[in-house]
Structure 1
Amino acid sequence: MLGDSITAGYGLAKPEALPAQLEAVLKAAGLAVTVIEAGVSGDTTAGGKSRLEWALADKPQAVVVALGGNDGLRGLAPAESYANLADILARLKARGLPVLLAGMLAPPNLGADYGRDFSETFRRLALENPGMVFYPFLLEGVAGDPALNQPDRIHPNPAGAREVARRMLPALRELLSKVQGG
C-alpha cells in the first residue's frame, strides 16, 4: 500500500493502522494476504512517485495507491497530481502489477472549482486505466465523522481505520482477483 500518513497510520499503533486493518478484513474473508505498509506521513503524489522503486523492493503482487490527500491539503495543482499518479500507474502497469487506485477529495476551503478539478484527477485516471480497480474516495463513510477520526479531524482513529478497511473489502477482492496465479 503506497500512501501517505493514512497508510503510515499516523497517530495509531501499527496493529490499528489501515494496512493492518486491510490485512485483517482480508484474512477474515479467507484470503491469506500480507499487506505491506509503504506510507510516509506528509507525502504527496510527487513523493510517492520518487520512492516507488523503494516501495516495490518487497516484490508485491498487487499495489494499492493511496496518495493525493496532501496534494489537496496543500492546494497543489490537480494537473501536477494527475501527472505524478499517471507516472506511478504507468510504471506499475509496465511491471504487470494489478493496481487499486484510491481516490481522494480536496478540502472544501479550497473552493468548488478546485475540488471538482482535484476529484476529476482520479476519475480521469480510472477511465484511462480500464484494467485498474478504482475506489473513488479512500475515506468514504469516515471523513467528517468525529467518532471515526482523531482530534485533528483528518486521520482515522482505530474505529475509522477498521471502517475504511471494511468498506474497501469488495474493491480489494476485485484487485486480488487480478493477481497472477491467485
Structure 2
Amino acid sequence: MLRTARNLGLGLILGISAAQAETVTIAALGDSLTQGYGLVQEDGFVPQLEAWLRARGADVTVINAGVSGDTTAGGLSRVAWTLTPEVDAMVVALGGNDLLRGIDPATSRANLDGILQAGDEAGVDMLLVGMEAPLNYGADFKDQFDGMYGELAEAYSIPLYPTFFDGLLAEGDINAARAAYMQADGIHPNADGVARIVEAMGPAILALIE
C-alpha cells in the first residue's frame, strides 16, 4: 500500500514537472518584417527572437507565419490555419503594407479585429504589435491608423507593443538608425537592426508566455 502511494506521488510529481516543461509554441503572424525579407534565415526576426527567448530560459518554438507583401487582409485570410492546436500564443504584426498601399484605416482595423477575434476564440494569448503612419496621408489618416492598435488591444484586453521599429527609434537619430540598421531599401532591417528590434520587443513576448 505504501509503495503504491509512493508510486502515485512520484507519478503526480513527474506529471507536474512534465507539464511545466512543456514547450510553448508562438505563432508570429506578420508580413516581410516577420518573414525576414532580404536576410539569411538565421538572421531573420523569428530565428533571432526564438534564440533570444531560449537564451533567457524560455522553452519555446516560434513559428514563422510571416508572408512578404501581406496586408491585414492576407493575415485575416490565413489566421485560421495558422492557429493550429499546438499554438499557445500569437504575435500579430501587420499593417505596414496597408500603409504602403494607402488602404483605408477602417478596413485595416476591421481585418485586425477579425484576426484578434480568431485568436480570442482559439484561446491563445496574444500580443499586438503596432505600426506608425507617416504624415504623407494626412493627420486624419495617421490618427485613425495609429489609434486602431491601442483601441483593439484595449477591446481584447491584450498587451500592445507600440511599434515594430521601437528598438530602432530608441536610437534617437532616426536617420542615423536607418543608415546603420536598415537594408538598402530603407524599409527592412538588416541583421543588426533585427537584433535591436528583438532586444527591445523580447521582454514583452517573454512576459506574454510567462
TM-score, normalised on structure 2? Answer: 0.80
CA contact (8 A) 2:167 2:198 kept: no
> How far apart are residue 112 of structure 1 and its match?
2.4
1:1-48: CA deviations, max 9, x gaps? 000000110001110000111111101111121110011101000000
Partners of 2:97 and 2:86 lie apart in 1 by 26
Change (3 A) 1:73 1:150: same
**Percent identity, aligned pairs only?**
48
> How far apart are residue 58 of structure 1 and its match?
6.7
Q: Which has the higher helix share?
A: 2
Identify the residue that residue 65 of structure 1 maps to in structure 2.
92
Identify the residue that residue 190 of structure 2 maps to in structure 1.
157
The structure with more radius of gyration: 2
Runs of 4+ deviating beyond 3 Å = none
| 2:120 aligned with 1:87 | no
Partners of 2:72 and 2:183 lie apart in 1 by 23
Structure 1 spans left out of the alignment, 5+ residues: 178-182
> How far apart are residue 174 of structure 1 and its match?
1.7
Q: Which has the higher strand share?
A: 2
Superposition map of 1:19-168 within 5 A? 19-57=46-84, 59-130=86-157, 132-142=158-168, 144=174, 145=177, 146-168=179-201
CA contact (8 A) 1:2 1:37 kept: yes
CA contact (8 A) 2:72 2:98 kept: yes
Q: Tell me whether 156-165 or 136-145 shows the greater mean CA deviation.
A: 136-145
Change (3 A) 1:147 1:98: same
Structure 2 spans left out of the alignment, 5+ residues: 1-27
If asked which structure has higher relative contact order (CA below 8 Å, sep 6+), I would say 1
Identify the residue that residue 180 of structure 1 maps to in structure 2.
none
**Root-mean-square deviation (Å):** 1.3
TM-score, normalised on structure 1? Answer: 0.92
